[in-house]
């Protein structure tokens, strides 16, 4: 996801969008306080946004249940 910023593709796949993977536990565990934890969540959410907005025509998002809370709003649409 880090390398996708600024790029664009006809089709992309964003995989492993399940709760065990996204957000990255390592990022959250490194947070020293509530402010740092909120920032870590924001960074992880932004990375997902970047990854899913690189597709011009087609996007595949996959993961296993339970899905990441970041995707929950999309499922309800």
Domain edges within the chain: 2-72
Residue 59 has pLDDT above 50, yes or no: yes
CATH class of 2-72: alpha beta
The pLDDT of residue 76 is 52
State how far the Cα of 34 lies from the Cα of 66, in Å rounded to an integer.
Answer: 25
State how far the Cα of 27 lies from the Cα of 29, in Å rounded to an integer.
Answer: 6
Rg (CA), the chain: 13
Residue 50 has pLDDT above 60, yes or no: yes
Residue 25 pLDDT class (50, 70, 90 cuts): confident
User: What pTM value is reported for the model?
Assistant: 0.76
Whether omega before 40 lies within 30 degrees of 0, making that bond cis, reads no
């Amino acid at each position: 996801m880090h390398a996708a910023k600024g790029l664009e593709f006809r089709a992309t796949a964003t995989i492993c969008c399940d709760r065990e993977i996204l957000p990255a536990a390592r990022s959250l565990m490194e947070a020293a306080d509530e402010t740092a934890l909120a920032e870590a969540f924001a960074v992880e959410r932004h990375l997902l946004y970047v990854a899913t907005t690189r597709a011009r025509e087609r996007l595949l998002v996959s993961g296993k249940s339970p899905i990441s809370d970041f995707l929950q709003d999309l499922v309800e649409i």
